[in-house]
């Protein structure tokens, strides 16, 4: 029987028996649900905590302020944070709904009943300056009070300038933002610098993708090992060994479990995309129209997704064939953990370094990290965060992929050989010397 046909037969059995298992269905359903839940939590929290906007009333007791203080406060309170100094045309956040009222006492009662968040009373003090009082049941140092305090100072300054007879046009010039820019320290770098939001997104991306790859390798790698041991302990191995070669069994098994992993990841990915797409409509339904919906994380380009797939698949194959080879050396499920420990340790170390460098605990620009990124067993954990943070030199990605592919071929050969001698070993777990002797001389 040809190699490919038997590999497909083995992979197919492995895939079908796993995908149909109740534990797999329940596990995948839970993962999908949790992905959807995570995507929906912010909206639900907002919906539960009532309408998003803080209702603030303004009572003007001075009467001589140019323009409507309520309108000024509305635009100041709803200005987006961070980019607040840039030129107009900005979308408003809609966090606050501000209106003018004429009856202060009635409004104070309304605030007390919880109908509104606060009422701001403004009046002229003895010095001629504006004086403000915020009536609210919320904390005096809370977020609402702080934001109103900041907004109010702008109102006061505008009022003082007006009383100094500075024309409104001149006032605008006074408040115009300074010309300020940030550039790379390295003169050779010309691309745009990252904002803290971008950098946060790249940390998040590198971190998230490293976790995904780590989970795929450890979780499904252990499945491969457990599945090999299951065939040994149920003695099916000898039956199928008459029909298929160890190499066919090994590759088929790894391919089958890999397919299961891809199925689960695709289900989660699909759920995530649907949830993201549904965020807008759901938010509209729960919170009213015009609410902003979040989109894909910034920086998640198709190219990056492609790299995630390449490193994920290569990394999984690399580890899975070794997990299979190791699994073939023991005959009881209890011994699996012990025999796969070397691989788990290397993967965990790679994962830790990957996460530390992605989140900035380790300096990702260090030379030794560039080197580690090229070590085939560590590349899957390190390279993605190097790419998202923009630290990967152009040669790093292709070289690491080639090195992984070459190592994969070597590991496949080694694992098939281990498998060939291991599958007929029963009883005591063989020591390193026995394994070495068997590898050299066969069985």
Partner 1 sequence: MSSVASATGGRLVIEGLRKRFGAVQALDGVSFEVRAGEIFGFLGSNGAGKTTTMRIVLGFLQADGGTITWDGRPAHAWPRRTWGYMPEERGLYLRMEVLEQLVFFAALYGVPRRQARAQALEWLARFRIAEYANRKAETLSKGNQQKVQYIATILHGPQVLIMDEPFTGLDPVNAAQLREALLELRDQGRTIVFSTHQLSTAEELCDSVAIIDHGRLVIAGSTREVRRSTGNQVVRVATDGGADAEWLGALPGVTVTRRGADYTELRVAAGGNPQAVLRAAVERGRDVLRFEVADPSLEEVFVERVGALVSEDHTLAAPVGAR
Between 336 and 423, whose beta carbon lies closer to partner 1? Answer: 423
Site residues (CB under 8 A) for partner 1, limited to 386-425 = 424-425
Between CA 14 and CA 22, with CA 20 as vertex, the angle to 5 degrees is 125
Q: Is 333 in the site for partner 1 (CB under 8 A)?
A: no
Going by C-alpha positions, the residue among 381, 376, 356 that lies closest to residue 366 is 356
Query: Which residue in 187, 302, 303, 442 binds partner 1 (CB under 8 A)?
Result: 442
Q: Is 130 in the site for partner 1 (CB under 8 A)?
A: no
Q: Is 6 in the site for partner 1 (CB under 8 A)?
A: yes
Between 237 and 254, whose beta carbon lies closer to partner 1? Answer: 237
- From the CB of 332, what's the least distance to partner 1, in Å? 11
Between 339 and 411, whose beta carbon lies closer to partner 1? Answer: 339
Between 259 and 430, whose beta carbon lies closer to partner 1? Answer: 430
97 and 56 Cβ atoms separated by less than 8 Å? yes
Q: Is 434 in the site for partner 1 (CB under 8 A)?
A: yes
Between 7 and 321, whose beta carbon lies closer to partner 1? Answer: 7
Between 10 and 118, whose beta carbon lies closer to partner 1? Answer: 10
Where are the alpha helices (H) located in 125-245, listed in sequence order? 143-163, 168-175, 196-215, 221-233, 236-241
Give the separation between CA 376 and CA 343, rounded to whole angstroms. Answer: 13
Give the separation between CA 151 and CA 408, rounded to whole angstroms. Answer: 62
Between 309 and 443, whose beta carbon lies closer to partner 1? Answer: 443
Number of residues that bind partner 1 (CB under 8 A): 29
DSSP for 106-145?
HHHHHHHTTSSSEEEEEEE-TTSSEEEEEEESS-TTSHHH
Q: Is 328 in the site for partner 1 (CB under 8 A)?
A: no
| Residue listed under structure tokens 């006032």 | 171
Between 137 and 428, whose beta carbon lies closer to partner 1? Answer: 428
Q: Is 436 in the site for partner 1 (CB under 8 A)?
A: no
- From the CB of 224, what's the least distance to partner 1, in Å? 16
Give the separation between CA 125 and CA 391, rounded to whole angstroms. Answer: 58
Q: Is 243 in the site for partner 1 (CB under 8 A)?
A: yes
Query: Which residue in 175, 368, 413, 426 binds partner 1 (CB under 8 A)?
Result: 426
Q: Is 148 in the site for partner 1 (CB under 8 A)?
A: no
- From the CB of 4, what's the least distance to partner 1, in Å? 12
Neighbour tally for 137: CB within 10 Å: 10
72 and 96 Cβ atoms separated by less than 8 Å? no
Q: Is 259 in the site for partner 1 (CB under 8 A)?
A: no
Tokens at 375, concatenated: 């070590």
- From the CB of 5, what's the least distance to partner 1, in Å? 7
Query: Which residue in 3, 4, 5, 176 binds partner 1 (CB under 8 A)?
Result: 5
Between 9 and 407, whose beta carbon lies closer to partner 1? Answer: 9
Going by C-alpha positions, the residue among 269, 417, 255, 379 that lies closest to residue 320 is 255
Q: Give the list of residues 6+ apart from residue 425 with CB closer than 8 angstroms, or none.
A: 328, 329, 331
Question: Residue 121 forms beta bridges with which residues?
Answer: 59, 133
Going by C-alpha positions, the residue among 253, 212, 208 that lies closest to residue 230 is 253
- From the CB of 314, what's the least distance to partner 1, in Å? 28
Residue 304's Cβ-count burial label (10 Å; 0-12, 13-18, 19+) is middle
Query: Which residue in 430, 436, 439, 440 binds partner 1 (CB under 8 A)?
Result: 430
Q: Is 264 in the site for partner 1 (CB under 8 A)?
A: no
Site residues (CB under 8 A) for partner 1, limited to 202-241 = 231, 234-241
Give the separation between CA 6 and CA 243, rounded to whole angstroms. Answer: 9
Q: Is 29 in the site for partner 1 (CB under 8 A)?
A: no
Radius of gyration of the chain measured on its C-alpha atoms = 32
Hey, is 60 helix, strand or coil? Answer: strand
Q: Is 26 in the site for partner 1 (CB under 8 A)?
A: no
Going by C-alpha positions, the residue among 71, 76, 48 that lies closest to residue 60 is 71
Q: Is 75 in the site for partner 1 (CB under 8 A)?
A: no
- From the CB of 357, what's the least distance to partner 1, in Å? 42
Site residues (CB under 8 A) for partner 1, limited to 351-380 = none
Q: Is 1 in the site for partner 1 (CB under 8 A)?
A: yes
Q: Which residues bind partner 1 (CB under 8 A)?
A: 1, 5-6, 9-10, 13, 17, 21, 231, 234-244, 424-428, 430, 434, 442-443
């Amino acid at each position: 029987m040809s190699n490919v046909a038997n590999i497909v037969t083995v992979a197919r059995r492995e895939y079908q028996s796993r995908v149909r298992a109740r534990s797999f269905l329940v596990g995948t359903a839970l993962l999908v649900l949790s992905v959807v839940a995570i995507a929906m939590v912010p909206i639900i929290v907002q919906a539960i905590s009532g309408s998003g906007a803080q209702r603030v009333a303004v009572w003007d007791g001075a009467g001589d302020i140019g323009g409507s203080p309520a309108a000024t406060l509305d635009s100041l309170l709803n200005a987006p944070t961070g980019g607040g100094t840039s030129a107009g045309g900005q979308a408003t956040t809609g966090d606050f709904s501000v209106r003018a009222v004429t009856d202060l006492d009635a409004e104070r009662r309304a605030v007390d009943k919880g109908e509104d968040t606060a009422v701001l009373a403004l009046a002229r003090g003895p010095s001629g300056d504006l004086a403000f009082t915020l009536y609210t049941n919320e904390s005096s140092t809370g977020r609402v009070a702080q934001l109103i305090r900041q907004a109010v100072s702008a109102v006061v300054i505008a009022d003082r300038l007006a009383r100094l007879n500075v024309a409104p046009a001149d006032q605008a010039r006074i408040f115009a933002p300074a010309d300020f820019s940030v550039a790379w320290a390295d003169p050779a770098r010309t691309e745009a610098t990252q904002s803290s939001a971008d950098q946060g997104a790249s940390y998040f991306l590198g971190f998230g993708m490293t976790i995904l790859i780590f989970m795929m390798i450890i979780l499904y790698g252990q499945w491969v090992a457990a599945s090999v041991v299951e065939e040994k302990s149920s003695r099916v191995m000898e039956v199928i060994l008459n029909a298929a070669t160890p190499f066919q069994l090994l590759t088929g098994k790894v391919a089958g479990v890999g397919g299961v992993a891809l199925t689960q990841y695709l289900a989660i990915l699909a759920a995530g995309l649907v949830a993201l797409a549904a965020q807008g409509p759901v938010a509209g339904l729960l919170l009213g129209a015009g609410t902003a919906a979040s989109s894909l994380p910034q920086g998640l380009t198709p190219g990056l997704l492609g790299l995630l797939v390449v490193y994920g698949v290569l990394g999984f194959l690399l580890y899975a064939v070794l997990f299979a080879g190791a699994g073939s050396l023991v005959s009881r499920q209890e011994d699996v953990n012990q025999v796969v420990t070397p691989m788990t340790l290397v993967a965990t170390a790679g994962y830790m370094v990957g996460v530390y460098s992605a989140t900035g605990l380790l300096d990702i620009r260090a030379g030794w990290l560039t080197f580690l990124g090229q070590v085939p067993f560590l590349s899957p954990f390190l390279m993605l965060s190097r790419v998202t943070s923009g630290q990967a030199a152009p040669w790093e990605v292709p070289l690491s992929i080639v090195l992984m592919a070459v190592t994969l071929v070597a590991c496949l050969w080694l694992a098939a050989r281990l498998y060939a001698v291991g599958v007929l070993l029963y009883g005591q777990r063989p020591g390193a010397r026995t394994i070495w002797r068997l590898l050299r001389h066969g069985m």
